[in-house]
Amino acid sequence: MIIIIGLGNPGEKLKKTRHNVGFMAIDEFARKNNFPDFNLQKKSISLISEKDRVFLVKPQTFMNDSGKAVKEILKNNSATNLVVVHDDIDLPVGKIKIVKDRGSAGHKGVESIIKNIGNENFIRIRIGIKPQQYHRSVRGTKKAKDVVLKNFSPNEQKTINEATQKIADALELFVKDGLEKTMNKFN
């Protein structure tokens, strides 16, 4: 079984913020591959869609508590592969980077997952959300919170839409042919 977690924050108010690109990417993959509608599983505090032994998960905790939901999902399902799709404030808007077995790089949602499952043994698809006007990293600064909770500009949204389509393609290849081929093609 493959479990693909898209990170974001619940609720309409935050739906289109930079922090929610993980949800956006999972939604695009689900749409493109005709997954059934997401349904709330209260025990795992997540919206879940399943098809062909692939679980798509959107934790309904806030970002910094994502690990609680992921831990519940893993408690009830054995994953041969765990993939976490999330925003990255250090990458330019729309840039994609696929990594495996890495630390959180300061991402609070990823930190929560590592803390709750007790390891870093999962694949991460990082999606850049850093606005063009920021030439230096804002990670760990007061500006970081402002950046992640803002919506994209119309031009940035176009770039993000292209990135989520590319991620959907990457996830398709991963499910079909594995990590190595996916990383070779999309990194």
Q: Which of 19, 86, 107, 135 is catalytic?
A: 19
Check if CATH label 3.30.450.20 holds for domain 2-186.
no
Q: For the whole model, what pTM was predicted?
A: 0.94
Is residue 86 among the annotated active site residues?
A: no
pLDDT digits (tens, 9 = 90+) for 76-135: 777 679 999 999 998 999 999 999 998 888 899 999 999 999 999 999 999 999 987 776
Among 83, 79, 120, 117, smallest CA distance to 98 is for 83
104/66 Cα distance (integer angstroms): 13
- E strands along 25-183, which residues? 39-41, 46-51, 54-59, 81-92, 96-100, 123-130
In the sheet that 123-130 helps form, which strands lie side by side, from edge to edge? 39-41, 46-51, 54-59, 2-6, 81-92, 123-130, 96-100
pLDDT digits (tens, 9 = 90+) for 3-57: 999 999 999 999 999 999 999 999 999 999 999 999 999 999 999 999 999 999 9
Give pLDDT, residue 78.
72
Give pLDDT, residue 141.
60
pLDDT digits (tens, 9 = 90+) for 126-163: 999 998 777 666 666 667 778 888 999 999 999 999 99
- Any idea where the domains of the chain sit in the sequence? 2-186
Give pLDDT, residue 94.
97
70/7 Cα distance (integer angstroms): 10
Concatenated DSSP letters of 151-186 = BPPHHHHHHHHHHHHHHHHHHHHHHHH-HHHHHHHH
| Bridge partners of residue 51, in order along the sequence | 54
